[in-house]
Amino acid sequence: MIEAANASLIVDGNLKAISDFFATDYVAHVSGRDFSGGHAVVEKYVRTYRRAFSEIKVEIDILVKDKNRIAWQRTVRAKHTGTFKGFSATKRSIIWHDTGCSESPRTTFDLAVVEIPAIDASHREVQLQFQTPLGAEVEVRSDESDKQTVTVDRRNSVGSFKVTLAVTKNPVTVDGKQSFTTLIRPESPTGASAGGPSTYTVEGEKSLDDMLSVTAKSGPIAYGVPHTVGLLNGKPIILVVTPVGSLR
């Protein structure tokens, strides 16, 4: 894919091929600076280099790769026949090397379901742990009126994200009423969170499982797709992690 992109764009100048290799929300991260703009950024880059250089040849060496990232080194040979960054054409043959890391969009994230040791028999806590893409919204809800959302960006994207699901059975009151305190809270690696505890007063005898059950299993989960992770007082608890390109 890296070789094909360079051949089509840099060597052949085929701008129509940009959409074949780059996402519409593509962002280039260069020496601490971000260049957003999607396909327009790529087109500007290609036009700039092809106006300044001719007889272009490109060689790509793959340095390392994993499931969705590739680190590469590029060697470009060309003739300087046009103005480039203020320098007039020298008609000389040049060689330059650069390195990069390309990342393809992931369609899933890995969810870990972790049971937290209980303080006593009246309390239960489970954490859903995962890593989000750079630029995402993490939403957890038990219904539309109880929606918790945390936005992920460069400031809070490093480390594991978690969603805490907890329930505590409170002592029966003097008038014989039973209540439970529940917590559904998404939290970023830096501690940014949303949502607080809620208390439910119930009729009759209910267990911790009746109030909060976790059905999620560890494994891959699709981005952008609502996923039922448990039940809160009989209502589904929904988790959605949605990449948002403009936040990257």
**Secondary structure of residue 4 in the 3-state scheme:** helix
pLDDT at 239: 93
pLDDT for 9 beyond 90: yes
Nearest by Cα to 237 from 148, 105, 116: 148
Contacts 24+ apart (CB under 8 A), 40-43: 42/9, 42/18, 43/15, 43/18
pLDDT of residue 54: 95
Confidence at 248, pLDDT banded by 50, 70, 90: very low
Q: Give 19-56 pLDDT, tens digit per residue.
A: 888 877 787 878 777 788 889 999 999 999 999 999 99
Mean pLDDT lowest for which of 14-18, 105-109, 172-176? 105-109
- Positions of CATH 3.10.450.50 in the chain: 2-103
Average pLDDT in the 123-146 region?
A: 82
Alpha carbon 171 to its chain's center: 41
Q: What percent of the chain has pLDDT over 90?
A: 48
pLDDT of residue 126: 96
Could you read off the pLDDT of 57-73 as tens digits, one per residue? 999 999 998 767 889 99
**Average pLDDT over every residue of 91-120:** 88
C-alpha angle with apex 74: 69 to 79, nearest 5 degrees?
A: 150
User: Is the pLDDT assigned to residue 246 strictly greater than 50?
Assistant: no
Mean pLDDT of the chain: 86
Output the pTM of the full model.
0.60
Question: Quick check: 144 pLDDT over 60?
Answer: no
- Contacts of residue 200, Cβ cutoff 8 Å, sequence gap at least 6: 179, 180, 181, 182, 211, 233
Residue 112: the pLDDT is 95
Least confident among 26-30, 181-185, 241-245: 241-245
Cβ-proximal residues to 165 (8 Å cutoff; 6+ apart), any chain:
125, 126, 127, 128, 183, 184, 212, 214, 229, 230, 237
User: For the domain 2-103, what is the CATH code?
Assistant: 3.10.450.50
Tokens 């940014």 belong to residue = 192
When pLDDT is averaged across residues 191-220 and rounded to a whole number, the result is: 86
Q: What band does 154 get if pLDDT is binned at 50, 70 and 90?
A: low
